[in-house]
Structure 1
Amino acid sequence: MNSPKIAGSQLDLFSQGPATQDPFAALAPAARPVALPPPPPPPQPLFKAPPAPPRITLPSPPRSPDDPPLRRIVLGHYAVDYELKRSSRRSIGFMIDDDGLHVTAPRRAILTDIDNAIRAKQRWILTKLHERGERRAKRAERPPIKWEDGARLPYLGGDITLRLQPAARSHCVFDGEARELNIGVTPGLSEWQLKERVKLWFQAEAKRLFVERLDFYAPQLDVRYSALTLSSAGTRWGSCTIGGSIRLNWRLIHYALPLLDYVVVHELAHLKEMNHSPRFWAVVGSVYADYDGARLELRRRSHEMPVLFTD
């Protein structure tokens, strides 16, 4: 067998001598591999999409242990809780406030008809609930009051000054001339306890004033109310039952007296007209002429009111 030759010389495939050439040397990897260039950056979009807006939580009517449970209906992508009340009215009515959707239906109306009526108003209901949810979110963003000596607290459309005084026993005294609320601060009193003490004072003032204004306006409207209770629900300022029980939001004590009077007259007028018909507004207007102005001012002021209590 003859050995192969390359360029006139004999090539021994098995020779290890210095003159030997490796026919596979060209196939061996290089000692230092060449680095590949980095991949090109991904193409950038011509326009950046704006950040997604925060998801708004739809408001839901608050419940107490004695209240009936809420009903729920699915509207589009949203599960909406609503309060259902029965009355002698002939049609199904809707009201949306900062506490959510309230439905009033005839006593004989079946639930299927009520839900169908809600679905027929789906677009309007969801729009209003989103507006209320955004309003509530904006209120939550307002900076809370600093609970320290000299803090300014809203009271009847103006401000009063909080005065904190070291004391062996807790006390709460309002100086009407100086417009100062004096709180005796005992050792170890927490901020939560201080806020509760101030809240109790506001609530007591609200109840005292509510009784005074109810007793002033009820004879003018020729009506009688059976009971008064305080409410703390969102910005639903009041409610009235057919039995004459009136609930008023104690936070009205922060607003000017004419605005408080408007809510008092509004609820007393329901003892004559349990609706918001032209007849109802005529009753309100008989003793409170500028009710439209009061409604707008109350709405405007509620957006500006500082945050005192988070509950």
Structure 2
Amino acid sequence: MKSPLPSLGNAIQRALQLDLFGDFLLSERLRSPTPAATPVLTPQPGKPAVQAPVPSPTLPVTDTVTAPRAGDLRRLLLQGTWLTYQLQRSKRRSIGFLINEDGLRVTAPRWVTLADIEKAIHEKQAWILRKLAERRELTARRLRPAMEWRDGARLPYLGNEITLRIAPGAANAAHFCHEANELLISLPHEASEQQLKDRVQAWLQQEARREFNQRLPVFAEKLNVRYHSMTLSAATTRWGSCTSQGKIRLNWRLIHFSPQIIDYVVAHELAHLREMNHSPRFWATVQSVFPDFETARHQLRQHVSADLPEF
């Protein structure tokens, strides 16, 4: 099962190729402009008073936006919000949507009318607005400062956060205090930051192995399947995998996420022992033991490298 992990920064860009246009949605509201007073020019002797021309009313723009650099720029109102997009004509036979670093680009055959193009955008507006929200969240995550490896740092663990506590000690040791929700790491005074990272990672992998070995038998029994073995994975492109021989590999970084997400990945991989594919029958098998799998799958897809500490 594919995953968005640390070196997956580029993979995330590819996976989100169709939702990189959040910065090009203008949050303008339709409101009637306030009529301005009509100025009257002072009449000259012997001539009637003349009214100055009144400018045509325009919709106010509440946000600024950097427009795409090339193509025919157009705007379309979607649910009270103005969407700026780039329209490009081509020899293709259908309307295509592409999101790149410049925003939304719509490519359409020369013979397709503008009305049909806008109709196609309206038909996909739910998808567009959903992807916009995902893009904004992704951008916000990337702006978050990287984790500082120090006493008092916060570390994601089983969907929550625990506090890292560092204490001087002769030997490397780790102890989790459930009452205080703290992970105590004992290290020699002269220990480096990398030694701290290695100790924390070893503890997390230990916890991941324990958690996976608890959940695998539960879902194996529900699916009436047998798996051969489970090993930890540090893959950068997959959360888990399963062979036809029943060898399960689960990414130890899943320990950062909620038990619901872990259960989904476990059920997903074990379901492959009945269906070695991603057919409708496979997803029906997953759903039979994990009814809310779509929610968990969506949550897992929202996680990017910025969510996880770097080791």
TM-score of the superposed pair, with normalisation by structure 2: 0.54
1:306 match:
307
Distance 2:235 2:143 in 1: 18
Provide the rounded CA distance (Å) in 2 between the counterparts of 1:307 and 1:290.
24
Equivalent-residue separation in structure 1 for 2:241 and 2:292 (angstroms)? 20
* Identity among equivalent pairs (%): 51
The answer (yes or no) to whether the contact 1:227–1:245 under 8 Å persists in 2 is yes
Q: How does 1:25-104 map to 2 (within 5 A)?
A: none
**Kept after mapping to 2: 8 A contact 1:202/1:250:** yes
Secondary structure in 2 matching 1:148:
coil
How far, CA to CA, are the matches of 1:137 and 1:175 in structure 2? 34
Could you tell me whether the CA contact under 8 Å between 1:143 and 1:307 is conserved in 2?
Answer: no
Report the residue type matching 1:256 in the other structure: S
Could you tell me which runs of 5 or more consecutive residues in structure 2 were left unpaired when the two chains were aligned. Answer: 1-7, 17-95, 101-134
Q: 1:161 is matched with which residue?
A: 163
Helix, strand or coil: the match of 2:304? Answer: helix
Q: What's the CA shift string for 1:57-95, capped at 9, x where partnerless?
A: 965xxxxxxxxxxxxxxxxxxxxxxxxxxxxxxxxxxxx
CA displacement, residues 118-168 of structure 1 (integer Å, 9 cap, x when unaligned) = xxxxxx9x999xxxxx99999877532101111110000000110111122
Query: How much has 1:187 moved relative to structure 2?
Result: 2.3
Question: 1:234: how far off?
Answer: 2.3
Q: Which amino acid aligns with 1:219?
A: E
1:200 to 199, 202, 217: 202
Q: 3-state SS of the aligned residue for 1:298?
A: helix
Cα offset for 1:227? 1.0
Q: Is the 8 A contact 2:275 2:281 kept in 1?
A: yes
Letter in 2 for 1:245: K
Q: Could you say what the CA RMSD is over the residues aligned between the two structures, in angstroms?
A: 3.1
Give runs of aligned pairs for residues 138-153 of structure 1, distance below 5 A.
143-153=145-155
- Picking from 273, 278, 282, the partner of 1:280 is 282
Query: Alignment length, in residue pairs?
Result: 188
Q: Which amino acid aligns with 2:202?
A: L
Structure 1 residues 305 and 257, CA gap change in structure 2 (3 angstroms)? farther
- Give the Cα separation in 1 of the matches to 2:237 and 2:298: 13
> Judging changes above 3 Å, is the alpha-carbon distance between structure 1 residues 97 and 252 closer, same or farther for their aligned structure 2 residues?
farther
The answer to whether the Cα contact below 8 Å between 1:97 and 1:236 also exists between their aligned partners in 2 is: no
Distance 1:277 1:127 in 2: 28
Name the CA distance, whole Å, in 2 between partners of 1:158 and 1:174.
14
Q: Which has the higher contact order (CA 8 A, sep 6+)?
A: 2
Q: 1:177 aligns with which of 176, 179, 203?
A: 179
Change (3 A) 1:164 1:244: same
Q: 1:252 to 1:150 in 2, by over 3 A?
A: same
What's the secondary structure of 2:171's corresponding residue?
coil
Partner of 2:68: none
Instruction: Give the conservation status (yes or no) of the 8 Å contact 2:156–2:308.
Output: no
**What amino acid does structure 1 have at the position aligned with 2:205?**
Q
State whether structure 2 residue 235 is matched by structure 1 residue 233.
Answer: yes
CA contact (8 A) 1:144 1:306 kept: no
| Paired position in structure 2 for 1:270 | 272
1:193-241: per-residue Cα shift (whole Å, max 9, x none)?
0000000000010011001000111011000110111111225211110
For residues 232-258 of structure 1, the C-alpha deviation after alignment (integer angstroms, 9 at most, x for no partner) is 122521111011001111111000101
Identify the residue that residue 191 of structure 1 maps to in structure 2: 193
Which residue, 285, 290, 293 being the options, matches 2:295?
Answer: 293
Is the contact made by 2:264 and 2:293 (CA closer than 8 Å) also made in structure 1?
yes
TM-score (norm. length: structure 1): 0.54
1:67 match: none
Q: Does the 8 A contact of 2:172 with 2:199 survive in 1?
A: no
In structure 2, the partner of 1:216 is 218
Amino acid at match of 2:196: L
